[in-house]
Each structure stands twice: as structure tokens, then as C-alpha cells.
A and B are shown apart, each in its own frame.
Chain A
Amino acid sequence: KNEVEQSPQNLTAQEGEFITINCSYSVGISALHWLQQHPGGGIVSLFMLSSGKKKHGRLIATINIQEKHSSLHITASHPRDSAVYICAPNTGNQFYFGTGTSLTVIP
């Protein structure tokens, strides 16, 4: 049983393209996190959302609580955005993790 589904699993884009990564979840949540895992393995938190939309630089995250869906958008993608992006809804007691979307941005 997968509580978190991400799509696509893999994504290749040309530099400058607009990127969208989707996350659907089945659990009731208090917040949803988007994480970035660098090619070297390190994991950093990008966003924590409980409603609406957040923007940080070229990254935008949205969430629709009723539809249990979140999206991560990257505007004007750059090769340094190449990483695995992980959706992580939190129920208040526990984090669930998607398997990640592997993004490669080609110069």
C-alpha cells in the first residue's frame, strides 16, 4: 500500500523549462513537506505546507487539502536543480515519504 504517489518518477528537461512534479497522498495530514536530495545524497527541506501556496525563489509549492494533492513547480530550470525531489506528508504523528522524482536538467 503506497500512501504517497509521485509523478513522474523520472524527468529530463532542457535548461529554462518550467517543471512540475506532482504528489498525491491518501492519509489525513497536518502538513506536507517537499524535500530535495542532492546527487551526493544530502537531503534538505524545501517547503512545509499546510494550505495554499508558497514561493521560494524559482520554486513554488501548492497544496489542495481536499483533493489530497500537492505540486512542486520550478520556473526557469537550471542544471543545478538536478536532484531527487521527495514529497513527505505528515499526519502529525508520522512522516510518509514518496519514492521521489529524479530530475535532470540539461544545459
Chain B
Amino acid sequence: NAGVTQTPKFRVLKTGQSMTLLCAQDMNHEYMYWYRQDPGMGLRLIHYSVGEGTTAKGEVPDGYNVSRLKKQNFLLGLESAAPSQTSVYFCASTAPGTSSETQYFGPGTRLLVL
């Protein structure tokens, strides 16, 4: 099993550009999450999904959109990137069952918005 993978690993954007981050998991997990991690702050939840076709907002959803068209994939989109979105983005998934089960994290995507 590859676990949780993220694409790309690193990206530089100019303000106003758009991009999509892809998260894929091969563990048949129902729950998937997108977090951002900034220096001096804990992981913050952007959006999450409790199953195929469903998404919900987290703590810091503004400026981001998500889609879960297939159970194994969770996409995070930035329609018009801003320097404040410079961060490291982590995707995670949770085993079937309750959402409090162990999370499996992807390797992260470093995004720099100029």
C-alpha cells in the first residue's frame, strides 16, 4: 500500500493564479482531511470529507474549495492564490469507523505564493 500520497510536493504560484492539490489514499478510508501548517501554529483544518460526494468546512475554509468525486481522492483547490496561503498543506485520512480513529498523513505539499 502506498498509504496517503500528495501531489505536488512543492509549488510556487504568483498571486491570483489557481491550482489544485491532489490527495490520494489506497486504504479505503471514509474520512479525509486537508490541513495547513504554519510556523508557530498547530495544524488547522481547512475542509474535510466523511465520504464520497460529501465535503464540509473546517476551521479555515476561506479561499479554498474541495471535491471528493471518488472515495480515494480528495482535491483541494485554490481559485485565486494569495500570499497568506503560503503554507505547508497536509492531507490525512482515517480508517472506517468513527472520525476519532488514527489519522494517516500524506508527506505534505509546500506552497509558496509570491
Instruction: Please give the number of chain B residues whose Cβ is less than 8 angstroms from any Cβ of chain A in the complex.
Output: 21
Main secondary structure of the interface of B (DSSP, over half): loop
Encoded as 1 (CB less than 8 Å from any B CB) or 0, chain A from 83 to 104 comes to 0001010111111111110000
Query: Are B102 and A48 within 8 A (Cβ)?
Result: yes
Indicate which residue in A31, A35, A91, A99 contacts B41 across the interface (CB closer than 8 Å). Answer: A99
With A41-B88, A42-B105, A42-B107 known as contacts, the answer to whether A97 contacts B100 (CB < 8 A) is no
Encoded as 1 (CB less than 8 Å from any A CB) or 0, chain B from 72 to 90 comes to 0000000000000000101
Query: Are A44 and B105 within 8 A (Cβ)?
Result: yes
Which residues does B use to contact A, with CB under 8 Å? 33, 40-45, 58, 88, 90, 92, 98-105, 107-108
9 contacts between A and B (CB under 8 A): A4-B42, A41-B107, A42-B108, A43-B92, A43-B108, A45-B105, A90-B99, A94-B58, A99-B40
